[in-house]
């Protein structure tokens, strides 16, 4: 048993989709979340900048006595994992490996699509992780407009803007007959209905944040490090206005968890 909290971070609100899954799978855990809303999106930035931001995010979370960190961001997972693991002496779970493993297990025709930010796709992390597991055809597509649209709440079927953008990005993947699509960015599960409508019911969508949550549960239970308490808590920190974070958080978390966020100066870490 280990009662220490789990730290989770993302460039913004997308990582809350992973928090939702963590709470569903492990309701006894205490969670500390940081969303870098003043600097989102990371996905169009250079690797140097993403690494600098990710180190600050990690240092802020390490100011708490954590048992593990979840990088609930595809962009950081695919660009900074080696450094963050080398610099931290607690387990770090990321979103690329677990999602790639699930996709490889689910595909029947061995044709897998990956949608993610530009920085994630250009890192090649998903293609490498998938290439390592099986003889697969991987079709990758950067979708830079998805994150700002999700952060604006433009993510529901029937919204003509997101439907047009999604059709444009996803058509080549559909034409390539993928039967499995990795949502390689933690913002994208909010678009699952829109994406599912365009790809059709036979295409399996893989939620990378949910897969990371499952990987952490497996690790903690193997290490006998799950918490034991009736109900875990969740604390939220953000680098921009707390009120904005709180307003949008419900969209990502569902209505079950009232969010009180605290603004911090991430540049101090
Ligand atoms: N949540 C981030 C990710 O999973 C996307 C947002 C961003 O570009 O910072 O890559």
What confidence score (pLDDT) does residue 135 get?
Answer: 82
Cβ count within 10 A of residue 240: 17
Q: What is the pTM of this model?
A: 0.95
Distance between Cα 134 and ligand 1 center (Å): 27
- Confidence label for 259 from pLDDT (cuts 50, 70 and 90): confident
Pocket test for ligand 1, best of 8, 9, 12 (most atoms within 8 A of CB): 12
- Residue 253 has a pLDDT of 86
* Rounded CA separation 151/14 (Å): 8
pLDDT tens sequence across 109-142: 999 999 999 999 999 999 999 986 568 999 999 9
Residues 182-193, buried b or exposed e (16+ Cβ, 10 A)?
bbbbbbbbbbee
Is residue 185 part of the annotated active site? The answer reads yes
Please indicate whether residue 143 is annotated as part of the active site.
no
Q: For the chain, give me the number of helices (H) and strands (E)?
A: 11, 10
- Quote the tokens at residue 204: 């399996």
Query: Please, what is the average pLDDT of the chain?
Result: 95
Condensed to tens digits (0 to 9), the pLDDT of residues 156-192 reads 999 999 999 999 999 999 999 999 999 999 999 999 9
DSSP sequence for 115-149: EE-HHHHHHTHHHHHHHHHSS-EEEEEE-TTHHHH
- Structural domains of the chain in order of their starting residue, each with its CATH number: 6-94+210-268 (3.40.50.1860), 96-208 (3.40.50.1860)
Q: Would you say 262 and 237 are in contact if contact means Cβ atoms under 8 Å apart?
A: yes
Pocket test for ligand 1, best of 36, 49, 140, 187 (most atoms within 8 A of CB): 187
* pLDDT(247) > 90: no
């Amino acid at each position: 048993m280990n009662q220490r909290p789990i730290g989770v971070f993302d460039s913004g609100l997308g990582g809350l989709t992973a928090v939702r899954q963590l709470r569903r799978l492990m309701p006894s855990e205490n969670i500390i979340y940081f969303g870098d809303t003043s600097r989102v999106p990371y996905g169009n930035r250079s690797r140097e900048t993403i690494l600098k931001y990710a180190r600050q995010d990690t240092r802020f979370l390490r100011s708490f006595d954590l048992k593990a960190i979840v990088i609930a961001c595809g962009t950081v997972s695919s660009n900074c994992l080696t450094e963050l693991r080398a610099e931290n002496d607690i387990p770090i779970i990321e979103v690329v490996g677990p999602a790639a493993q699930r996709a490889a297990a689910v595909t029947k025709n061995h044709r897998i699509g990956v949608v993610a930010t530009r920085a994630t796709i250009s890192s090649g992390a998903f293609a490498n992780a998938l290439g390592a597991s099986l003889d697969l055809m991987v079709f990758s597509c950067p979708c830079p407009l998805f994150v700002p649209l999700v952060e604006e709440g433009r993510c529901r079927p029937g919204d003509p803007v997101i439907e047009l953008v999604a059709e444009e990005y996803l058509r080549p993947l559909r034409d390539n007959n993928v039967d499995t699509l990795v949502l390689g960015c933690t913002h994208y599960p909010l678009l699952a209905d829109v994406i599912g409508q365009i790809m059709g019911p036979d295409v399996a969508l893989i939620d990378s944040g949910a897969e990371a949550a499952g990987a952490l549960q497996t690790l903690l239970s193997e290490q006998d490090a799950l918490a034991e308490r009736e109900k875990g808590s969740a604390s939220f920190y953000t680098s921009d206005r707390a009120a904005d974070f709180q307003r949008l958080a419900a969209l990502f978390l569902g209505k079950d968890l009232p969010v009180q966020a605290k603004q911090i100066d991430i540049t101090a870490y």
